[in-house]
Structure 1
Amino acid sequence: MALPARLGGVIPPICTPLTPDGEVDVDSLRDLADFLAEAGVDGLFVLGSTSEAAYLTDRQRRTVVETVAAHLDGALPVLAGAIDMTTPRALDHARAALASGADGIVATAPFYARTHPAEIERHFRLLAERSGAPLFAYNLPTSVHVALDAELVLALAADGVLSGLKDSSADQTNLREVILAARSDPGIRDFTVLTGSETSVDTALLMGADGVVPGLGNVDPHGYVRLVGLCAAGDWQRARAEQERLLALFSMVGVGSPARMGRGSSSIGAFKAALRLRGVVRHATTAEPQIPLSEDEVARVAKHLAAAGLL
């Protein structure tokens, strides 16, 4: 489907359910897409960080996009990550995703090699030109080790290279600069600004962001739909209460012991365990080499769900 001029609301970065042997669990992926759609989300983002895109093979990436796009059949916009180290590799992912039914592309800056701002700019310009699709920049400095500053993002927006920004930098000053310019410059008023922070959605929307891409939205999409609705209605007191409930639920990402696993294993493991406990997916398998949660850690996830009224 054609993307709206400004894509907003709740656009979860959908988890990728896996079978115990590490293949994409297509049936669970369809069920998860239905669960999110029925909650009233405004779009889905496949092959992002929460989707474990970095751990999937090219074949698995294609399977994810094809499955979600075909299952939704135009009912919701589908953004797909084209995230890789270099422009040619990202462009290959973009073309494959678009051929599989994606409506737009999300890309980080190139990484691994040290990049100059001019090279980052060239990366986005080439992706937009050669893919011919709406392109969203993904500001993810914790993973790609370079931040996209407001000046570069706005220059690319003004030239029609970027359709939007997904900001997961936690730099609210930079985010505010993008929002202020996007809302005041007639040439980029259709530019979409999405926060990737699960825990400060009310703040971002009050600043003027269009929506949120919350990993936790896989687990509690209804909560994020409520939160965005309250913000849109100007009911900031109730929005704050809902945000604080979600903040407490988000603490599930810390259930994994840092003595034996990284933050990513703990976070993705918690989201998948929660989805299995809620009966949405069949397995809580995470991609290798991530470390699975223990039984005790899964039990702690259950306690978080119960405290949030989800079990």
Structure 2
Amino acid sequence: MADRIDRHTSGVYIIAATPFTDDGALDLASLDRLIDFYAEKGVTGLTILGIMGEADKLTAEERITVLERVLARTSLPVIVGVSDAGIGNLAALALHAMDKGAAGVMVAPARGPARDDRVVNYFHAVCDALGDDVPVCFQDFPQITGVPVSPRTILELTRDRPQIVMLKHEDCPGLPKITTIRKAEEAGSPRLSILVGNGGLYLPQELARGVDGAMTGFAYPEALVEIVRLHLGGEADRAEDIFDAYLPILRHEQQPVFGLAVRKAILMKRGAIASAATRAPGPRLSATDLVELDRLMARTTDKLKDL
């Protein structure tokens, strides 16, 4: 069984896509290939059933199928997204995932009024339902959830509920939040592992602010691995040189909604999955989009040769 996440977890936890066939069915053979692809690129761990994984478009049975397939396929630590409108459903999926060998679970605040007391009460209820033994990653992604969360609330929750050991940081702009949390830790607040998302778009600056790595789905996971390794090893300038080479295609992937189709098309072109299909309703690339993407991928390859 892989190690569980804790307050010092670091590295790159790649957010895994969920492969579908052209007609929208789960493609388990491609899922196997994708998990192997991520492992070959040197990631520290995986995060499944997240927003990029189109978890909201999967049935309850399909979620179980995906998590069991992934956990049986890899020895890497796996964080399972379990956010759900119902706490009973959330807890059932989370406890099943942990029983199958997951390293932890990821939970986002429930949609609703953006009040700190509501967020606090919700996470206390979640932690009560899960029990103290389940490590929790707090997913802070207000652009999607519609629920901004203050650093004070995050710090209060991780202090009061020790199983909240990790922050998936995707607030934007979010650099001041990282600094606030790290300064509070210097003053005695419990440490949080902080892994960042947003495609890695701000990764060099976030690493400079003291985060522990990345948790995002960029279709060149080896880039994230190298940037994090270099930066944590004290080679910040070299890390930014690598980042700069990937920036045009990374930025292209980050387009709202459309970016998921771009990311899956890159994974298909790199041989990781058989089809770039997203599950309906989802974006599709036109012939013009694909020509544009081929050019971006070729330019990225040429830039890396120079490095």
The two structures have a TM-score, normalised by structure 2, of 0.90
- Structure 1 residues 277 and 102 mapped into 2: Cα distance closer, same or farther (>3 Å)? same
SS where residue 193 of structure 1 aligns? Answer: strand
Q: What is the CA–CA distance in structure 2 between the aligned matches of 1:115 and 1:149, rounded to whole Å?
A: 10
Match of 1:268 in 2: 260
Counterpart in the other structure of 2:245: 245
Whether the aligned pair in 2 keeps the contact of 1:39 and 1:221 (CA below 8 Å) is yes
CA distance in 1, matches of 2:155, 2:269: 42
**Counterpart residue number, 2:273:** 281
Equivalent pair of 1:164/1:193 in contact (CA under 8 Å)? yes
SS of structure 1 residue aligned to 2:301: coil
By how many angstroms is 1:187 displaced?
5.3
Q: Matches of 2:140 and 2:268 in 1, distance apart?
A: 30
1:194 aligned partner: 195
Q: What does residue range 110-189 of structure 1 map to in structure 2 within 5 Å?
A: 110-111=110-111, 113-114=112-113, 116-132=115-131, 133-159=134-160, 160-170=162-172, 171-182=174-185, 184-186=186-188, 188-189=190-191
How many residues are treated as equivalent by the alignment?
296
Matching of residue 294 in structure 1 with residue 286 in structure 2: yes
C-alpha distance in structure 1 between counterparts of 2:187 and 2:251, whole Å: 38
Structure 2: which amino acid aligns with 1:142? Q
Aligned pairs for 1:190-229 (under 5 A) are 191-197=192-198, 198-216=200-218, 219-229=219-229
Instruction: Give the percent of matched residue pairs that are identical in Structure 1 and Structure 2.
Output: 27
Of 8, 11, 31, the residue aligned with 1:9 is 11
Give 1:269's aligned amino acid: A
Q: TM-score, normalised by structure 1?
A: 0.89
Question: Shift of residue 293 of structure 1?
Answer: 1.2
Cα RMSD after superposing both structures: 1.9
Structure 1 unaligned runs (5+)?
256-262
Contact 1:128 1:134 (8 Å CA) reproduced: no
Letter in 1 for 2:91: L
Residue in 2 aligned with 1:232? 232
* Maintained 8 Å contact 1:124/1:161: no
Aligned residue number for residue 95 of structure 1: 95
Aligned to 1:28: 30
Local SS of the residue matching 2:125: helix
Q: Secondary structure at the match of 2:9?
A: coil
Any conservation in 1 of the 2:5–2:135 contact (CA below 8 Å)?
no
The structure-2 alpha-carbon separation of the partners of 1:185 and 1:91, relative to structure 1 and needing over 3 Å to count, comes to farther
CA contact (8 A) 2:12 2:228 kept: yes
Instruction: Identify unmatched segments of 5+ residues in structure 2.
Output: none
